[in-house]
């Protein structure tokens, strides 16, 4: 009986953690000095899929649920598809994969210190060091 209760509590915890991730509002950010004021998800996907080098994309780690949601919403791709695409681009020398940072704070710091950087974070982490150009729904 104790094991059943533990299993039920664990399942409830996973569901609430999943709901918290689902409730995350992801924003695309740039350096405040960047002249861009708005960008569609389709435009942003060009940078995160290596189709344009106008902006330097920065990524959260592959293990991040926000990263998975971002790529699904912006690029309509899952993690495996994105990884395969970048592997091909890097192997052929056509592009350099986005640098990964372990947290929203590190993403903000990288974007704030690089005029042409573009990244994504949870909206709750936004502060005056970065500028929001897109909010994903």
Domain extents in the chain: 25-135
- Fold (CATH) for 25-135: D-Maltodextrin-Binding Protein; domain 2 (3.40.190)
Q: What is the pLDDT of residue 19?
A: 45
HSE (CB half, 13 Å, CA atoms) of 23?
A: 7
Instruction: Say which range, 8-12, 66-70, 73-77, has the weakest mean pLDDT.
Output: 8-12
Q: Over the stretch 34-51, which tens digit does the pLDDT of each residue have?
A: 999 999 999 999 999 999
Confidence band (pLDDT; 50, 70, 90) for 8?
A: very low
| Beta-sheet strands, E only, within the chain | 26-30, 56-59, 99-100, 117-122, 131-135
Beta bridge partners of 131: 30
Residues 6+ apart with CB under 8 A from 56: 47, 98, 114, 116, 117, 118
Rounded to whole angstroms, how far apart are CA atoms 34 and 84? Answer: 30
Asked if residue 17 has pLDDT above 50, the reply is: no
Q: Is the CB of residue 83 less than 8 Å from the CB of residue 62? A: yes
Tell me the pTM. Answer: 0.82
Q: What is the pLDDT of residue 128?
A: 96
């Amino acid at each position: 009986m104790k094991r059943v209760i533990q299993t039920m509590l664990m399942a409830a915890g996973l569901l609430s953690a999943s709901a918290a991730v689902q409730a995350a509002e992801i924003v695309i950010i740039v350096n405040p000095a960047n002249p861009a004021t708005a960008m569609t998800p389709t435009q942003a996907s060009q940078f995160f899929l290596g189709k344009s080098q106008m902006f330097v994309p920065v990524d959260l780690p592959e293990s991040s649920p926000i990263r998975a949601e971002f790529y699904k919403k912006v690029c309509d791709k899952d993690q495996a598809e994105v990884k395969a695409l970048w592997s091909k681009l890097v192997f052929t020398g056509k592009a350099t994969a986005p640098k990964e940072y372990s947290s929203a704070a590190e993403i903000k710091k990288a974007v704030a210190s690089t005029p042409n950087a573009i990244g994504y974070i949870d909206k709750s982490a936004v502060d005056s060091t970065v500028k929001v150009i897109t909010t994903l729904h």
